[in-house]
Amino acid sequence: MARIKAAIAGGTGYTAGELLRILINHPEVEICSVLSTTSAGQSVASVHRDLFGETELKFTDKTGNPNVLFLCLGHGLSREFLTNNEISDNCKIIDLGNDFRVDSNFRKRDFVYGLCDLNRKKIERADSVANPGCFANAIQLGILPMLSKKLIDDDIHVTAITGSTGAGKKPSETGHFSYRESNISVYKPFTHQHLDEINKTIKSMTGSPIQVNFVPVRGDFTRGIFASIYTECDIALKDVIELYHAYYEKSPFVFISDEPISLKEVINTNKCLIHLELHNGYLHITSIIDNLVKGASGQAVENMNLMFSLDETTGLKLKSIAF
């Protein structure tokens, strides 16, 4: 079987860099082009320095003729790219931005929402996939089993902290080391853009909206998302745990931990770890992921594997860190 030819548009950012690290070592993939209009002709390793000695690829402004195109562009730019570039109908597309997560139709394509643990069968048949947002990924994985049985009647309360890479590579006032170091801050409380896709999932699974009170927090670390979620629950904890184990039985990257979890347990992996507790009639769910892997590029590769009938874990058995 010929290797999958992959192109990456928007090749200089954090998600593209993470995607390159995974795809360079993917046994079924050949990277045919890494697009950047501003860096065309430069070596990929000159931007992603950790890839020095790993690849001789150079940035280009030509898409070529790939089997799969990953869009790692800024939010709102994927539609513009697809409008201005000729992409074969036979090329599969995976968008890591937010252009198609809620409004999924574009010309002849209908983008399937790429949360594998929700839409695995649809993704297997898809030619276009909208990768979930990083916060949306962690939060939804935390509540999908409860939603699947329509067991949530109360508001869902979420506080989730993310690393600085979640803000993207472009410098900003709140992304500077001098701001982030030894500091945390709330941003976009109750209005974060990932709420739109979360609300869409909730309505599709339950038939009615549920209020999600989401407070995002900037963390003083580079990568990872730690989500603390709670909602009213009148079910015994052992029954909730059995439900989560059953729901994720065929999910190769989602694990239910009996012990409390910490962020470093998932960094540099495509795993999501979940811990469940019951307190005074409230179910507390801790859900953790690496925002650049399971929250972005690893999830995109997981989607690609399904779209090309590969084992879902191919290229994603990554080494975690403990300290």
Encode the chain in three state secondary structure: CCCEEEEEECCCCHHHHHHHHHHCCCCCEEEEEEECCCCCCCEHHHCCHHHCCCCCCEEECCCCCCCEEEECCCCCCHHHHHHHCCCCCCCEEEECCCCCCCCCEECCEECEECCHHHHHHHHHHCCEEECCCHHHHHHHHHHHHHHHCCCCCCCEEEEEEECHHHHCCCCCHHHCHHHHCCCCEECCCCCCCCHHHHHHHHHHHHCCCCCEEEEEEECCCCCCEEEEEEEECCCCHHHHHHHHHHHCCCCCCEEEECCCCCHHHCCCCCCEEEEEEEECCEEEEEEEECCCHHHHHHHHHHHHHHHCCCCCCCCCCCCCCCC
pLDDT one-digit tens code per residue, 190-237:
999 999 999 999 999 999 999 999 999 999 999 999 999 999 999 999
Which residues of the chain does CATH 3.40.50.720 include?
4-131+294-307
CATH number given to 4-131+294-307: 3.40.50.720
Q: The whole model's pTM is what?
A: 0.96
- 33-54, pLDDT tens digit by residue? 999 988 999 999 999 999 999 9
pLDDT tens per residue across span 293-316: 999 999 999 999 999 999 999 999
The fold for domain 134-291 equals Dihydrodipicolinate Reductase; domain 2 (3.30.360)
pLDDT (0 to 100) of residue 167: 78
The whole-number average pLDDT for the span 242-252 is 97
Q: Catalytic residues, which ones?
A: 134
Q: What is the per-residue pLDDT for 1?
A: 64
**Region(s) of the chain under CATH 3.30.360.10:** 134-291
